Amino acid sequence: MSRLRIAIIGGGVSGTALAVHLLLRGAQTPDVTLIERGRRIGPGLAYGGSDQAHLLNVRANNLSISDHKPDDFSRWLSKRKGGDQSKTFAPRALYGRYVAEALQRAEGAHWFRRPLKRVRGDAVALRREGEGVEITLASGKTIPADKAVLALGNPAAIVPEPISSVEVIDAWDAAAIARVPSNSDVLLVGTGLTMVDVVLSLSKRPRSGTIYALSHRGLTPHAHADIPPAVQGTLAQSAPLSAALSELRNVARGVHERGEPWQHVVDGLRKATPTLWRGLTSEQQLRFLRHARSYWDIHRHRAAPEAAARIADLRKTGKLRILRGEVVSAGAAGRYIQIVHRQRGSMVRHRFDVANVINCTGASQNLARSRDPLVMQLLSDGLVRAHATGLGLDVNDDGGVLDARGAADTRLFALGPITQGAFWESTAVPEIRARAAALAAIL
């Protein structure tokens, strides 16, 4: 009997985690083809850099790639750095190395055959073929499979319209960021975790210029707390969304008043969040995204304490200034870029010049604006549909992709950030790991 053939499109953390879990199924391991457009399989965009100042925002003891060995990463890290590293926030680049090695170890366990095939290429089309699917690469090569998984990772950030008229540096372009002059001012658009990484890179050299970081509300990520006794958050699923969020704030306030970190109220809610999210109507989800998302993000997706402390120091000295509001216009002014900024809640406009503008708005899961040939083809052919929130693909509870009519095809699944609209919690390693294990069993 022929073995099941599974093609995974995307060799970042999501695709690699699924491949690892499939390879750990022993005699049940199918033939796996892992397709990645980049040079390296494993790290992906998030963990493929080399800047040691960029730290993980999850402690090492919760970052194993495998559900079967929850302490795998912390043990791996401790062997390399010495001592107990379970509670540390390691460099992101080091985690990328771990993910790649974890895949090699899982692959090496199959000494009697090689079930994993690595393919470097850009998947540009996927079509149903008989009872399976056929994937076409940009090179023209086709790959047949019985089932396919879209593990496309984080797409490129979209340049906001007001700054699209000038040259904008992508936050992931390390070479371009290294060329930003330290004696000139620079504007970062976006104030989340991507901004934190870019500021840490820019501030490695002494700066005489100012780093401006701007977002609509000017909110920045909170820091992780020291590890306290775990506190479980509560959120009434049956209550209206506004009442449920008010309850969460009250619980966190009570915990804080007792002298305990509020962070663990949010963390205690983590496993229940996908169920709570899927229990909301589409209208409620959209209301949450409009009014509460930015506040949720800074409390839920927190910075490593060392990174947060560095950001606080830079703000205190005036080297980093956080702006609220919007860019009204941006245009060339000699060797500089003139920014016109309107403060939130005010009609007054301010002008200042910067040498560079860096887009730190983060990955965009808005499929309507995607320029990925594969995503565009799948949408055009009706094989997939966007989630009602506009965040990624619409999938069922098992990760099965829903087509334009809302029907699930047992040949096509999705995993990772592209399922954010369906599960909300789908971008961090602990959630990706758990869903990869569940999907491996389903496949």
| Of 385 and 230, more confident | 385
Identify the domain boundary among 300, 329, 351.
300
Residue 180 lies in a domain: yes
Name which of 378, 392, 397 is nearest 421 in CA terms: 392
Residue 416 lies in a domain: yes
For residue 182, pLDDT over 60 is answered with: yes
Range(s) of the domain holding residue 169? 161-222+302-359
| Of 242 and 305, more confident | 305
**Which SS3 state, helix, strand or coil, does residue 380 take?**
helix
> Domain of 202: which CATH number?
3.50.50.60
Residue 17 lies in a domain: yes
At 5, list the tokens: 């053939």
Query: Do residues 37 and 108 share a domain?
Result: yes
Residue 233 lies in a domain: no
Query: Do residues 346 and 384 share a domain?
Result: no
The pLDDT, as a whole number, for residue 237 is 56
Name which of 101, 92, 98, 103 is nearest 172 in CA terms: 92
Q: State pLDDT tens for residues 120-177.
A: 999 999 999 999 999 999 999 999 999 999 999 988 888 988 899 999 999 999 999 9
The pLDDT, as a whole number, for residue 269 is 83
For residue 407, pLDDT over 80 is answered with: yes
Query: Do residues 177 and 321 share a domain?
Result: yes
Query: Do residues 200 and 341 share a domain?
Result: yes
Mean pLDDT of the chain: 92
The pair phi, psi for residue 168, each rounded to 5°, is -120, 135
For residue 238, pLDDT over 70 is answered with: no
- Using CA atoms, how far apart are residues 307 and 312, in angstroms rounded to an integer? 9
Identify the domain boundary among 340, 359, 378.
359
- Tally of domains within the chain: 3
Query: Do residues 100 and 133 share a domain?
Result: yes
Query: Do residues 17 and 132 share a domain?
Result: yes
Query: Do residues 84 and 14 share a domain?
Result: yes
Q: State pLDDT tens for residues 340-387.
A: 999 998 888 999 999 999 999 988 888 888 889 999 999 999 999 999
Confidence of residue 199 (pLDDT cuts 50, 70, 90): very high
Residue 228 lies in a domain: no
Residue 280 lies in a domain: yes
Query: Do residues 209 and 350 share a domain?
Result: yes
Query: Do residues 324 and 309 share a domain?
Result: yes
406: DSSP letter: S
Q: How many beta carbons lie within 10 A of that of residue 283, not counting itself?
A: 10
Residue 230 lies in a domain: no
Which DSSP string do the residues of 22-55 spell out, in sequence order?
Answer: HHTTGGG--EEEEEESSS-SSSTTTT----TT-B
For residue 439, pLDDT over 90 is answered with: yes
Contacts of 322 by beta carbon, 8 Å cutoff, 6+ apart: 191, 213, 214, 218, 220, 315
Query: Do residues 11 and 103 share a domain?
Result: yes
Cα–Cα–Cα angle for 121, 122, 125, nearest 5°?
Answer: 125
For residue 119, pLDDT over 70 is answered with: yes
Query: Do residues 105 and 190 share a domain?
Result: no
Query: Do residues 256 and 273 share a domain?
Result: yes
Residue 37 lies in a domain: yes
The pLDDT, as a whole number, for residue 291 is 92
Q: State pLDDT tens for residues 254-269.
A: 888 888 888 888 888 8
At 7, list the tokens: 């093609």
- Using CA atoms, how far apart are residues 397 and 286, in angstroms rounded to an integer? 20
Name which of 273, 271, 266, 276 is nearest 302 in CA terms: 266
